[in-house]
Amino acid sequence: MTFEETGLKPEILKAIAEMGFENPTPIQEQTISHLISSKQDLVALAQTGTGKTAAFGLPVIHNTSMQTKEVQSLILCPTRELCLQITRDMDKFSKFIPGFKTIPVYGGADITKQIRELKAGGQVVVGTPGRVHDLIRRKILNVSAIRWLILDEADEMLTMGFKEEMDAILSTTPKEKQTLLFSATMPSEIAAMKANYLHEAIEISVGKRNAGAENVEHHYYMVHAKDKYETLKRVADNYPDCYAIVFCRTRMETRDVAEQFMADGYNADALHGDLSQAQRDYVMARFRSKQLQMLVATDVAARGLDVTELTHVINYSMPDDPEVYIHRSGRTGRAGKSGISVSIINMKETGRLKQIEKIARKKFERKMVPGGDEICEKQLFHLIDRVKTVEINNSQIEKYIPQILEKFEGMSQDEIIKHFVSLEFNQLLDYYKNSRDLNVKVEAPRDSFQRNDRGSDRNGDRMSFSKLFINAGKKQNLNASGLIGLINQYSSRRNVEIGKIDIQRKFSFFEVDSNFEKDLVKALNNVVIEGHVINIGKVESTAETQPRERSSFRREGNGGGGGGYAGGRREGRREPAFSDRGDRGGDRGDRPRRRRN
């Protein structure tokens, strides 16, 4: 099928042809013709990077009336970056339709400018739920007569805690409208939204649900937590042409890793929540234009970053949610290209890796962390390939050739080559000389527990766990490692075993050693954190408190450790309870600064 066969207006076809689009993607092929000719609601399930913006944007532009400047379409999306990306795409699609206006509205920016643009009029509004809800309450944005409502990345909006705002916005829209819901996954909340707000919707699914991209390879390196950063450097050195996002768990970890990375000479920068909007825009513009080779980012900060040519996604810290991994890995291997998703894990994360394998239906291949000889060979031949393909400016170089030959007089061809290679590689060779093996040797499982690091002899002992409830969850930005940090911060105990953790939207469940249950409840109950009063108590269920073997979650002193655990008491200051910190790990050493490609 071609775009001409979809029935789009000539002005739109001209615009997308100028953008280089030739044939619609599967989601576009199934969606565009339906939306042009039908008013039936639609649920489209497709992974990030499949062309969803064009799938809903092109038919919306095609059907929009240019006789009025009133808002006819409302597009809701989870982040500012995605909001601006959709707006840019809509502007390109409508380039040859005079008077067509798309207005972006989002938090973290001057609302007065957005109010002026809304009062001037436009046919499409793209916005984040918080800012859209605010503008509706102020009676600035009127969506009572819209013809189309599009919920883009609806699952992400729910994950980020926007359900109340979305419900409030949808309640102000007219009954007679076409609602389009685009999502990568179909959790129960999306199914409920479909039942409540969509009418006899058809469902389109592109690719397997929860499945990773077919043309992405999944690799992992198993190392000790303290060697993660050193492993990251070796992975970067082993792929000289990589164009990658390095995902970290927290903004603090992101900042730490990026600062080390840049100090070690890598062409990288950071993207996280502590940056001002101007700084974020600057970093993202440099990365999109490939002035940056590697971007170190949190999941939230990277949302809306639409880059189609990533060669690698590197998981410096594995996400708690397997769906997040699927989203990350789906950022490479787009537009028919192949890609590699790399995970740097420690022994404690093998269970999470197997869980992701099961959900994504992908087999992860263990790779050995490359040694110094392998990396130097890869870098050397990368340099040779660059020398062979470099464009020669004969008009400028030719006049210097006689003097150059004179300086090399008496040297053989082999000697000249050795001198050039040594100039480039002496530092690198010295850095990796006698480099140690970072790979973890996986031993056969033991028959019984050995004496642990605190000196208590378990030898096959089983532990009794209590299941506790806490009135905080994803809406309060609490995750598993943040919960462990919270326990660290408010408990004086340093030997509490923590079992299964289940983070819900507004509350969570977790298991602890029954011996410490009462102390923990007493320490945490009625604590006020960022205005939120903590309530904690025991879940009375005999099935949940049966003795079980120790969990892989363990408290490690003051909350550090290989799992990226959070919080903990610190000398002179207290960390926020609902945040976590990962490992920095690795020694920077005297590695030579890495040349930009």
Q: Output the DSSP codes for 314-340.
A: EESS--SSHHHHHHHHTTSS-TT--EE
Q: For tokens 């102390």, what's the residue?
A: 519
- Which pLDDT score is estimated for 442? 63
| Residue 381 CB neighbours (<10 A) | 11
Confidence of residue 373 (pLDDT cuts 50, 70, 90): confident
Residue 186 has pLDDT above 80, yes or no: no
Residue 584 has pLDDT above 70, yes or no: no
Average pLDDT over residues 191-202: 83
Q: How far is CA 123 from CA 97, 105, 178, 572, in A?
A: 12, 13, 15, 54
Which H helix or E strand runs over 66?
A: none
Q: How far is CA 174 from CA 73, 193, 206, 283, in A?
A: 12, 16, 29, 40
Residue 242 has pLDDT above 70, yes or no: yes
Judging by beta carbons within 10 Å of its beta carbon (0-12, 13-18, 19+), is residue 498 exposed, middle or buried? buried
Q: What phi and psi, each to the nearest 5 degrees, are found at residue 323?
A: -60, -35
- Which pLDDT score is estimated for 374? 87
Evaluate whether 97 touches 46 at the Cβ level (below 8 Å). Answer: no
Average pLDDT over residues 57-72: 93
- Which pLDDT score is estimated for 534? 87
Does the fold of domain 465-574 match that of domain 216-371? no
Evaluate whether 58 touches 33 at the Cβ level (below 8 Å). Answer: no
Q: Output the DSSP codes for 28-55.
A: HHHHHHHHHH----EEEE--TTS-HHHH
- Which pLDDT score is estimated for 61? 96
Average pLDDT over residues 373-383: 85
Which H helix or E strand runs over 202?
A: strand 202-205
Q: What is the pLDDT of residues 457-494, one digit of tens each?
A: 333 445 578 888 898 888 888 887 778 777 766 765 55
List the helix and strand counts (H, then E) for the chain.
21, 22
- Which pLDDT score is estimated for 220? 94
The domain segmentation of the chain, as residue ranges, is 4-205, 216-371, 373-432, 465-574
Confidence of residue 556 (pLDDT cuts 50, 70, 90): very low
Average pLDDT over residues 530-551: 60
Task: List residues bridging with 313 in a β-sheet.
Answer: 245, 341
CATH for the stretch 216-371: 3.40.50.300
Q: What is the pLDDT of residues 485-540, one digit of tens each?
A: 777 667 655 556 777 888 888 888 888 888 888 888 888 888 877 778 888 988 86
Q: How far is CA 520 from CA 491, 492, 493, 495, 559, in A?
A: 6, 9, 9, 12, 16
Q: How far is CA 564 from CA 250, 349, 360, 404, in A?
A: 9, 11, 23, 55
- For all residues of the chain together, what is the average pLDDT? 79
Q: Which of 137-151, 231-245, 428-442, 573-587 has the lowest mean pLDDT?
A: 573-587
Which has more pLDDT, 253 or 593?
Answer: 253
Q: What is the pLDDT of residues 104-156, one digit of tens each?
A: 999 878 899 999 999 999 999 999 999 999 999 999 999 988 999 999 988 88
Q: For tokens 């600035």, what's the residue?
A: 140
Take residue 517 and report the two structure tokens written for it: 């249950």
Average pLDDT over residues 303-324: 81
* pTM reported for the whole predicted model: 0.52
- Using the CB atoms, write b or e for 555-574: b if 16+ within 10 Å: bbebbbbbbbbbbbeeeeee
- Which pLDDT score is estimated for 365? 92
- Which pLDDT score is estimated for 105? 96
- Using the CB atoms, write b or e for 439-464: b if 16+ within 10 Å: beeeeeeeeeeeeeeeeeeeeeeebe
Residue 313 has pLDDT above 90, yes or no: yes
- Which pLDDT score is estimated for 64? 95
Average pLDDT over residues 265-284: 85
Topology classification of domain 4-205 = Rossmann fold (3.40.50)
Q: How far apart are CA 313 and CA 243, in angstroms?
A: 9
Task: List residues bridging with 344 in a β-sheet.
Answer: 221
**Count, residues in the chain:** 597
Q: Which of 192-201, 534-543, 554-563, 588-597 has the highest mean pLDDT?
A: 192-201
HEC letters along 96-120: CCCCCCEEEECCCCCHHHHHHHHHH
Confidence of residue 48 (pLDDT cuts 50, 70, 90): low
Which has more pLDDT, 569 or 120?
Answer: 120
CATH for the stretch 465-574: 3.30.70.330
Evaluate whether 240 touches 573 at the Cβ level (below 8 Å). Answer: no
Residue 565 has pLDDT above 50, yes or no: no
Biggest alpha carbon distance in the chain? 89
Average pLDDT over residues 55-81: 92
* Type of residue numbered 123: Q
Average pLDDT over residues 63-92: 92
Q: How far apart are CA 168 and CA 148, in angstroms?
A: 17
- Which pLDDT score is estimated for 491? 66
Q: For tokens 């927290």, what's the residue?
A: 250
